[in-house]
Chains A and B, each alone.
Chain A
Amino acid sequence: MLDAAFSIPLVALSDIGRVISLMFIGAGLLWILIRSLRAKEVDRRIVFLFIFIAVAAPILFPITFQERATLIVRKVFDKVESLPAGSKVLLAFDFDPAMAPEVQPMADAISRHCLTKGHNVIFMTLWATGQALLTQSLERVVKGEFPENRDGVDYINLGFKAGNENVLNIIVTDFRMMFPTDVNGVPLDSTSIFDDVRSCKDLDLIISIGGGKPGVKEWVLYVGDRVNVPMGAGVAAVVAPQLYPYYPKQLLGLLGGVKGAAEYESELVRQYPHLEERGTPGLRMMGPQTLAHMVIMAFIVIGNISFFISRRRERKR
């Protein structure tokens, strides 16, 4: 039963290393299961070994699991997917380097998705430390993968503005008052992307990615609640539980932690298989996480089986 879990076409087995390590884990678990059917306890060092392999194998031979997006994530994906080409999407990069490993994969995946669909994307950040990360994503995803897209026409980078929620308070009615120019000093009036965008009201979708303050909560309170523009969000895993109450009314969907990023990536890759080679860091990080979780769950099941068997034997005596 347990090794069956690993032979479901969950995994794209293409590499011998993967096959061997997965077979090792599967066969090992089976062996332990048989042993525990004879009511033998597993030495903790064997548990340690399994965890080590479960984490190391997917790192050495990248294993990605096919995630299926939960509703809360798919809502965001479907929104981006259903908007007509040329829609105006605002992406806020409200995070710092400490949070980046968790949320930057989301930001990249969403940017990639928007540009693939031909949306016009407006990038900005409320975090001084987010500026560098925004530039990073811009160089890598926007300029690197979509060289044909033109700055000011297909996308624009407004950069960082100090003032936290006050910035939101203003752009909700007028972008140009807070951002007379984009990050390069080009006046907004001279960019075609801002031709018919005066305030946040004129956007088609706002996605806030962050995990601190100012962040998603501020975007909801100062912008989302005041204008009738759908809002999506991506946050670090620890913050996610505090934001669930906003879903589905104030937030149309929410991506939480590496798992949220991985779910979005998987949905994206399923829709646009050619994007897979562009990198799926969320899915890649989920590999070891998932395998380790599965090993732990397998051990919990095995532990309980051996517990029940030994208890039954005791009763028989």
Chain B
Amino acid sequence: MSSHPMTSRPLYFIILSFLFTFFPSCGGSSIALAQAEPIDIATTQMIPDSEQVVVEPVTSLIAADHKYDDGGMIDLSWVPSIDDQLVASRVIGYKVYRIEDEGEPEMISELAPGSNTYNDQSVERGKLYSYFVSTLSINAETPSVRTAPIEPQREWLNYELLNVLIMALVLGGAVIYFIETARRGKKLFVRKIAGLEAVDEAIGRATEMGRPILFIPGILDMDDVQTLAALTILGRVARIIADYDTKIFMPVSRSLVMTAGRETIKASYQAAGRPDAYSDDMVTYITDEQFGYVAAVDGIMVREKPATCFLLGAFFAESLILAETGNSVGAIQIAGTARPAQLPFFIAACDFTLIGEELFAASAYLSGEPKQMGSLKGQDVGKAIAMAAILIGILTVTIGDAWNVEWIQNITTGLVDVFSTR
């Protein structure tokens, strides 16, 4: 930082400048203060008008590296011109200029009166940038002083998200801990989930009736977790189906899901010792288009008359069309989705519905393996934390507000900080 006279500046400016002179990398960022350098550039030419309205420039212009990014942003802040007033203001706006590597100034943005910040997102690492802001009146433009050149910095860890990382590690740790505990043979209790208790019975029913089982894994592709959840459940379901020697049919709306579905069913048949009973025709691709797929599946439902339908995964408006058609052919339906908007329709039209979290827990539950069950116990730790946070948070914020107790208010602030995501 340069050693320009700073006596006329506020005290904090001097302190800041000193800080950044001696600790330029303090906090992983640097701040460039406006230098008192006069500038003369083409854009500041005054219009030779008798009634020229000259306005005061902005002051205290600061350019600072945007924290915790990859070095692609610089934050500007300033104190608006004293002529920028709510009533009868003579300022009609501001222009932000940037000078890249001591080149020509370039206007990068025009802002409305009253503005006092700007984020320049078009900078690159390894280049030096300095800025000035000019104040616009109806017919004149007054530039501010220029900031010292500044280089955007890259940071390696986003400290603002540290709380998220810690919370994620706590939760992940809890899940892994209980998986390990279970693996070592400790018995863990898991309550019954009605929709999943019914799976065996639903498959058995199809076997008795000699009708197929329809498995719909939602309409999204493999890049959605709900589809993954559906496939993990498919693995368990297909295993039971193979044991019962029932027919499964799985029309899908995505090619990748078709591939993954075939792998899954094939493996389940192999595990059941019946690889010969598997055929690729169990899984067919129809079309990627939402309602085209629905039209075809509806047709399949009324023609094949499945005894059991699984509707698990990501569903949109089609949820009810499929569930109602399935119901009309007399199928037992087990549905599940994590889309809150579609859950009501499944609840209304299906026999069993896995609500949100239960969908993701289903494959662990169906597997019956201790280590998988352990992961469910880990989830419960998360719920306990959430419930405690909600309880404490509401109590402290209410009491703190009511009696204005500072230490209670501090608890609230701390708690909110722990759960903030930015």
* A–B contact at 8 Å CB threshold (below): yes
Which chain B residues (321-364) contact chain A, with CB distance < 8 Å? 324, 328
Is A177 positioned at the interface, with any CB of B under 8 Å from its CB?
Answer: yes
Task: Give the contact stretch, choosing among B81-89, B274-282, B379-387.
Answer: B81-89
Q: Flag if B113 contacts A170 (CB, 8 Å).
A: yes
Measured in the bound complex, the distance between the Cα atoms of B85 and A177 in whole Å is 12
Q: Flag if B88 contacts A174 (CB, 8 Å).
A: yes
Q: Flag if B87 contacts A174 (CB, 8 Å).
A: yes
Taking residues whose C-beta sits less than 8 angstroms from the other chain, chain B's interface range is 10 to 19
Is B79 positioned at the interface, with any CB of A under 8 Å from its CB?
Answer: no
Q: Flag if A166 contacts B89 (CB, 8 Å).
A: no
Q: Flag if A177 contacts B92 (CB, 8 Å).
A: yes
A163: B residues at CB distance < 8 A: 112
A169: B residues at CB distance < 8 A: 112-114
Measured in the bound complex, the distance between the Cα atoms of B324 and A56 in whole Å is 22
B86: A residues at CB distance < 8 A: 172-173
Is A312 positioned at the interface, with any CB of B under 8 Å from its CB?
Answer: no
B324: A residues at CB distance < 8 A: 44
Residue among A170, A172, A174, A199 making CB contact with B112, cutoff 8 Å: A170
B89: A residues at CB distance < 8 A: 173-174, 177
Which chain B residues (45-99) contact chain A, with CB distance < 8 Å? 86-89, 92
Measured CB to CB, the nearest residue on chain B to A167 is B112
- A169 shortest CB reach to chain B, Å: 6
Measured in the bound complex, the distance between the Cα atoms of B92 and A172 in whole Å is 15
Q: Flag if A166 contacts B87 (CB, 8 Å).
A: no
Measured in the bound complex, the distance between the Cα atoms of B112 and A169 in whole Å is 9
Residue among B113, B115, B328 making CB contact with A44, cutoff 8 Å: B328
B92, B112, B114 — which one has the most chain A CB atoms within 10 A of its CB? B112
Number of interface residues of A (CB under 8 A): 11
Measured CB to CB, the nearest residue on chain A to B328 is A44
Which chain A residues (165-182) contact chain B, with CB distance < 8 Å? 166-167, 169-170, 172-174, 177
B87: A residues at CB distance < 8 A: 173-174, 199
- B110 shortest CB reach to chain A, Å: 10
Measured in the bound complex, the distance between the Cα atoms of B89 and A199 in whole Å is 13
B115: A residues at CB distance < 8 A: 166
Measured in the bound complex, the distance between the Cα atoms of B114 and A173 in whole Å is 12
- B203 shortest CB reach to chain A, Å: 27
- B53 shortest CB reach to chain A, Å: 13
Measured in the bound complex, the distance between the Cα atoms of B86 and A199 in whole Å is 10
Which chain A residues (129-178) contact chain B, with CB distance < 8 Å? 163, 166-167, 169-170, 172-174, 177
A166: B residues at CB distance < 8 A: 112-115
A170: B residues at CB distance < 8 A: 112-114
Measured in the bound complex, the distance between the Cα atoms of B88 and A260 in whole Å is 39
Measured CB to CB, the nearest residue on chain A to B115 is A166
Measured in the bound complex, the distance between the Cα atoms of B112 and A174 in whole Å is 14
Measured in the bound complex, the distance between the Cα atoms of B321 and A44 in whole Å is 13
B113: A residues at CB distance < 8 A: 166, 169-170, 177
Measured in the bound complex, the distance between the Cα atoms of B324 and A44 in whole Å is 10
Measured in the bound complex, the distance between the Cα atoms of B377 and A21 in whole Å is 59
A173: B residues at CB distance < 8 A: 86-87, 89
Measured CB to CB, the nearest residue on chain B to A43 is B328
Measured in the bound complex, the distance between the Cα atoms of B267 and A114 in whole Å is 71
Measured in the bound complex, the distance between the Cα atoms of B115 and A172 in whole Å is 15
Measured in the bound complex, the distance between the Cα atoms of B114 and A174 in whole Å is 13
Measured in the bound complex, the distance between the Cα atoms of B97 and A208 in whole Å is 36
Measured in the bound complex, the distance between the Cα atoms of B109 and A163 in whole Å is 13
A199: B residues at CB distance < 8 A: 87
- B228 shortest CB reach to chain A, Å: 30
- B320 shortest CB reach to chain A, Å: 13
- B340 shortest CB reach to chain A, Å: 14
A44: B residues at CB distance < 8 A: 324, 328
- A9 shortest CB reach to chain B, Å: 34
Measured CB to CB, the nearest residue on chain A to B111 is A166
Which chain B residues (158-198) contact chain A, with CB distance < 8 Å? none
A172: B residues at CB distance < 8 A: 86
Measured in the bound complex, the distance between the Cα atoms of B87 and A199 in whole Å is 9
Measured CB to CB, the nearest residue on chain B to A166 is B112
Write out, one digit per residue, whether chain A residues 177-192 have a CB within 8 A of any chain B CB (1) or not (0): 1000000000000000
Write out, one digit per residue, whether chain B residues 95-125 have a CB within 8 A of any chain A CB (1) or not (0): 0000000000000000011110000000000
Measured CB to CB, the nearest residue on chain B to A164 is B112
Measured CB to CB, the nearest residue on chain A to B87 is A173
Measured in the bound complex, the distance between the Cα atoms of B330 and A44 in whole Å is 13
- A171 shortest CB reach to chain B, Å: 11
Write out, one digit per residue, whether chain B residues 132-151 have a CB within 8 A of any chain A CB (1) or not (0): 00000000000000000000
Which chain B residues (211-241) contact chain A, with CB distance < 8 Å? none
B114: A residues at CB distance < 8 A: 166, 169-170
Measured in the bound complex, the distance between the Cα atoms of B89 and A159 in whole Å is 23
Measured in the bound complex, the distance between the Cα atoms of B92 and A170 in whole Å is 10
- A148 shortest CB reach to chain B, Å: 36
Measured in the bound complex, the distance between the Cα atoms of B114 and A170 in whole Å is 9
Measured in the bound complex, the distance between the Cα atoms of B324 and A226 in whole Å is 52
Measured in the bound complex, the distance between the Cα atoms of B328 and A166 in whole Å is 56
- B93 shortest CB reach to chain A, Å: 9
Measured in the bound complex, the distance between the Cα atoms of B86 and A169 in whole Å is 9
Measured in the bound complex, the distance between the Cα atoms of B347 and A127 in whole Å is 40
B112: A residues at CB distance < 8 A: 163, 166-167, 169-170
Measured CB to CB, the nearest residue on chain A to B91 is A177
- A225 shortest CB reach to chain B, Å: 14
- B352 shortest CB reach to chain A, Å: 20
- A10 shortest CB reach to chain B, Å: 29
Measured in the bound complex, the distance between the Cα atoms of B85 and A199 in whole Å is 14
Measured in the bound complex, the distance between the Cα atoms of B177 and A230 in whole Å is 59
- The 7 A-B pairs at the shortest CB distance, nearest first, are namely A166-B112, A173-B86, A173-B87, A163-B112, A169-B114, A44-B328, A170-B113
In the complex, 10 of the A-B residue pairs with CB atoms within 8 angstroms, ordered by the A residue number, are A44-B328, A163-B112, A166-B113, A166-B114, A166-B115, A167-B112, A169-B112, A169-B113, A177-B92, A177-B113
Q: Which B residues are closer than 8 A to A by beta carbons?
A: 86-89, 92, 112-115, 324, 328
Other CB < 8 Å A-B pairs besides A166-B114, A169-B113, 19 of them?
A44-B324, A44-B328, A163-B112, A166-B112, A166-B113, A166-B115, A167-B112, A169-B112, A169-B114, A170-B114, A172-B86, A173-B86, A173-B87, A173-B89, A174-B87, A174-B88, A177-B92, A177-B113, A199-B87
